[in-house]
Amino acid sequence: MREEFTQTPDPLPRRAARLAVLGDSTAVGLGDPVPGGSWRGVGPFVAEALGIPPAGYLNTAFTGARMRCVRTDQLPAALRHRPDVAVVIVGMNDTLRSDFDSLGMARDLEHVVTALQAVGATVVTMRFHDHSRVFRLPGPLRRALTARIAELNDVIETIARRHGVACLDLGSLPGAYDLAAWSVDRLHPSELGHRLLARGVTELVADAGIAVPSPVSLVCSGGVTPRTVDHVGWLVVKGIPWLWRRGRDLLPYAAAIVARSALESWRARRAEPLEPELAPRPVER
């Protein structure tokens, strides 16, 4: 008798009813202004793609938030919301401060991730791109910030792997380094950039078995198009003062990097063998 095998169909994607977005100004939506003076950004785009109604969407993010803020100030409300999907975008503000603490950040992020998972959320985190490719800084500050971002990304990737959490690599997103993906400040995504983030998030969510009824469109609509005067105004009113404040915070770390680099170069030169014509000749007897 011939034995018949039946293939078990793949389970249908489950629908998400509640979304929580936690984090800093990028999570707030800065860079994607809408009429009326408010911000839109990645959160509403993800909610729309997942078919989540306004009552099911919660954004606890605020500008300037650091990793610790997400744990102490934002997480309690997110847990009460009991999200099916939680997006965590945080860490860059920590890299810009003199009290940067990667071990403390790791503890805080791990607490946030495990607490969200405990209420049934599919969690998505983000590792950050090379900011120096879109935001120009003086050499020492650029090297200091790049080193800090590398430490931050190590923290995020370690926690994500340890707890099986999806991690969106912003630097590998198609178009991530196009200037059109960035707002006038070159620190926050533009509307297109937020749409790219939202598309990346929803692709990871779909991989986790959650339905995405309406994929995120990359066609910009509904936002406010920045004008040239906005670029100039931001530079004068916010850009230069911001660079001065953050530059002072990073300056001691940048100086340490420069000093360490100089010391390593000096040691390398000392270790190099002398050229034949410069080497001491043996004394003849």
State pLDDT tens for residues 200-226.
999 999 999 999 999 999 999 998 876
- Quick one: average pLDDT of 103-124? 98
pLDDT at position 238: 52
Cα gap 112→70, rounded to integer Å: 8
Number of H helices, E strands in the chain: 10, 7
Q: What's the mean per-residue pLDDT of the chain?
A: 83
Residue 165 has pLDDT above 80, yes or no: yes
pLDDT tens digits for range 13-46? 999 999 999 999 999 999 899 998 899 999 999 9
Q: Does residue 11 register a pLDDT over 60?
A: yes
Q: What's the pLDDT tens digit per position in 37-72?
A: 899 999 999 999 999 999 999 999 999 899 999 999
Give 168's DSSP letter.
E
pLDDT: which is higher, 268 or 122: 122
- Lowest average pLDDT, out of 32-36, 142-146, 262-266, goes to 262-266
User: Do 75 and 22 touch, CB atoms closer than 8 A?
Assistant: yes
Domains and CATH numbers, the chain: 19-229 (3.40.50.1110)
Mean pLDDT over 137-165 rounds to 90
Q: What is the pLDDT of residue 47?
A: 98
In this prediction, residue 246 carries a pLDDT of 47
Q: Is the pLDDT of residue 186 over 60?
A: yes
Element (H, E) at 17: none
Residue the block writes with tokens 């004008």: 227
Q: Please check the confidence at residue 121 and state whether its pLDDT lies above 70.
A: yes
Percent of the chain scored above 70 by pLDDT? Answer: 75
Checking if the pLDDT of 258 tops 60, the result is: no
CA distance 62 to 79: 17
Asked if 83 contacts 119 with a C-beta cutoff of 8 angstroms, the reply is yes
Higher pLDDT, 131 or 75: 75
- What is the pLDDT, as a whole number, of residue 249? 53
For residue 129, is pLDDT > 80?
yes
Torsions phi, psi of 284, nearest 5?
-85, 140
Position 227 confidence tier, pLDDT thresholds 50, 70, 90: low
Q: 245 or 30: which carries more pLDDT confidence?
A: 30
b/e map 31-49, b = 16+ CB within 10 Å: bbbeeeeebbbbbbbbbbb
**Residue 103, pLDDT above cutoff 50:** yes
Res. 240: pLDDT tops 50: no
Share of the chain above pLDDT 90, in %: 60
